[in-house]
Amino acid sequence: MTERFRHAHLVISRRSPSPAYHHTLLMLEDSWLPFSQWNLRYNPFGELTAAERAQVAIFDSAPILDRLQDGGAAVQFIGDCGRGKTTRLLAIQQRLDSSAAFIYLPAFAAVTPQCWLRLWQLRGDLLIIDEAQRIAAPLRWRLFRRGVPLVLGTHRDLSRPLQRAGYRVTTVWVGPGNDAAHLRQVANARLAAARLAAGDVPQMSLAEAQQLVSRFGDDLRAIESFLYHQVQHQAGRNGQMRFID
Amino acid sequence: MGKCVLSIELEDPAAAYRAGQKVRGQVQVDADADVRCRSLTVYAGWRTRGMGNVASEQGPKVTLFSGELTAGASQRFSFEVETLLWPVTYNGFQLSVEHFVEATADIPWTVDPKVSLPIHVTPGDYRPPDAEPPRSPAALLQLILFLFLSLFLTFIALSFFGPNPIVMIGIPVLLLCGAGLLMLIFKWLPKLYVGQVHFDLEPRRLSPGELLRGSFSLRPTSAIEPQFIRFRLIATEVCVSGTGTNQKTHRHVLFDRLLVLAEQPQLPANETKRYEILTRLPRVAAYSLKLTHNELHWVAQIHIGIPGLVDWKDEIYLSVVPSLDPAMAARTLAPGHQAAQFALDLADLDVADSAPPEDAITFAETVGHIVNARANPEQVDLLVDAVAGLPLPLQVRIGRRLLRGGDEDVQLAPDEQVVWAEHEEPLLPLSLYIPKHRVEDFERASGTIWEGRGEIVGWDRRGGRLQVRIEG
């Protein structure tokens, strides 16, 4: 232990300082955390668990939840891969506490008996189905006839079968809203979630977000992957964090 | 609704814990309303960070408290939890392993508050299992796939041409011929070209900074002249993100050291040609890992460039594990994300060197330290050991070739010769180990300044010479 750390340790023992003080210690000297110089615990743009994704989601779920209060309501999120459908579904699930049932349908779910069974056994006050375009047609008809409120993530518009089953359908197109302002919020939420200690963390500016949107369009997954590499290349370095070249 | 805020204070926040060691500290609970806490638990664990889906493990939960928390009161609970044994803290490029201590309170009718603090965990006495090569599709699976494809194509053909016996026999035969042709191009012809081969490395379970020795020999059945014979030591992070159709595999080469064993060698028929391999693992804390969706592989590969054919390759998976030697373990290892700077390309010695990283030691600095410590042989051995295996740019005055000698030199490989040289400022005699095919170049360069890359391999106490291997 260096003299500097030994001194800090003695201070802690005598005065019991705030947790923030302890965190600050992690940022001193040669921390083993490669992003501690920016007050970050890890690279913010890596993969997250489902719960973490829901927590950092930039999405106002209140209007959707209001619509789902009424019986016979279905909300479908339509968009290409990487635009934020699953994140929205996870955020809705988290905000509904425990009453919602969530299922992700893998490739070939329409021809996999195991998936049919899992889908058929799905029970909850509200069903959240990701990749809903993979529900086999006969099962889809039976599932929709239950009348349980539905939240669907899909690549294909399912409003016609939903309406035929009596649902009032709300369609949300995911992707067109992924503009620079939204991207900036998403990136800054991730940066805040990776905060190591009380204090500032790097922030993405609107101009930087605009450049990324010009380059990658509305593909948030591609932008996050780019940002991961961009940040990772700066591991252990000092200076201002750069989000673009 | 009442809230409570948790915080963790460790006894020694700056400590690095050995795997399995106890972490002591206190959890502080600040409630802003009267709340009932079913349980306040604390545990140690690890999780991956990076581009792969998250893999994690939690240790046993220790319950610190259950009962009523009073508004405005601040309570502290001491805890002691054991860090998990494996994997240890790792900071790579697209994969990191983070150890943490986490506390959570189970409060009815609200989101459970949670706090997590990262901790640094270094290897302990645990011996991780040997690394296994990734499983290739089993032969049975390949056979099933082949039969399925045959049946499918036969069915399609029958629907067009009707129940024609030529179609029913022809499709499987055609498929068999196709599979055979692929095998011939990618496997049998390269194998036929190189003849009998033997690739061996020892040890296959080793630690950062340790020497890796081995040999590669081949005995072609006809005279051949391959484009090159190369040895590569590669560390690769392999992470899988997403699921189903969104699943993506990310590979990142963390470390790649290339040793050219021979350039356009002329190998006569029915004669065994043997190449010695000697290199050192970089002193980098990047151990072999096999976690769910997140892996780190160390592979030693032989690559023979075959003109006009598909190249021949063979590889051996290595298990890179923490050292059990306390002296080796005590030495600081570089973090995984810096591994690339230990693996400069040694292929072309004539290429001008790029500037070394600011924090990397230079050859001249090393020589300076050795000159200062020359009176103390143990000190010199320590210094040499610390930099051995690092490819460094160097600038030396070439001397004469040593015609005899080297028989007693354990560092000298059979296909190398010794050329004396001098580092001028500070002055230090050197023994350069030169691949035989480059010896003439060095003889011609005698008396001149030569620039290139070399790897310090030892210290000749009797002759007072630094031994440097020039790869070629």
> Could you confirm whether domain B4-122 is CATH 2.60.40.640?
yes
CB B30 within 8 A of CB A43: no
Point out the least confidently predicted range of A77-91, B1-15, B109-123: B1-15
Q: What is the torsional sign of CA A108, A112, A116, A119?
A: negative
Closest-CA distance of chain A to residue B405, Å = 47
B118 to A41: CB separation less than 8 angstroms, yes or no: yes
Residues 6+ apart with CB under 8 A from B87: B46, B97, B128, B287, B289, B291
Q: Cβ contact (<8 Å) for A43 and B12?
A: no
Predicted confidence at residue B73, as pLDDT, reads 87
Q: Tens of pLDDT along B173-223?
A: 888 888 888 888 888 889 999 999 999 999 999 999 888 999 999 999 999
Verify whether the Cβ–Cβ distance B51 to A12 is below 8 Å: no
Written as six digits, the tokens of B243 are 């699921």
Q: Among all residues of chain B, which has the CA nearest to that of A105?
A: B244
Residues of A in contact with B9 (CB under 8 A): 12, 16, 19, 22
Q: Hey, of B54, B115, B338, which one would you mutate to test binding to chain A, going by the most A CBs within 10 A of its CB?
A: B54
The pLDDT value recorded for residue A5 is: 30
pLDDT at A23 exceeding the cut of 90: no
Contact A22 B13 (CB under 8 A): yes
Average pLDDT, chain B: 86
Tens of pLDDT along B52-91?
999 999 999 999 999 998 888 899 999 999 999 999 999 9
Of residues B410 and B289, more confidence is placed in B289
Q: Is the pLDDT assigned to residue A62 strictly greater than 60?
A: yes
Looking at domain B127-360, which of 2.40.128.110, 3.30.360.10, 2.60.120.260, 2.60.40.640 is its CATH number? Answer: 2.60.40.640
What torsion, rounded to 10 degrees, do the Cα atoms A230, A234, A235, A236 define?
-170
Residue type, position B207, single letter: S
Question: Are A41 and B98 within 8 A, CB to CB?
Answer: yes
Asked whether the beta carbons of residue A34 and residue B10 sit closer than 8 angstroms, the reply is no
Top-level class of domain B361-472: mainly beta
pLDDT single digits (tens) B391-429: 788 888 888 887 655 555 667 777 788 888 999 888 899
pLDDT tens digits for range A179-215 = 999 999 999 999 999 999 999 999 999 999 999 999 9
For residue B308, give the 3-state DSSP assignment.
coil
Cβ atoms A88, A77 nearer than 8 A: yes
**Taking the model in full, what pTM does it have?**
0.75
- Contact between B410 and B459 (Cβ < 8 Å): no
Domain range annotation of chain B: 4-122, 127-360, 361-472
pLDDT, average across residues A151-169 = 95
Distance from CA of B14 to the nearest CA of A (A): 6
Same CATH topology for B4-122 and B127-360: the answer is yes
Which positions ≥6 away from B421 have C-beta within 8 Å?
B396, B397, B398, B399, B429, B430, B431, B432, B450, B468
**Cα nearest neighbour of B112 on chain A:** A97
| Confidence tier at B49 by pLDDT (50, 70, 90) | very high
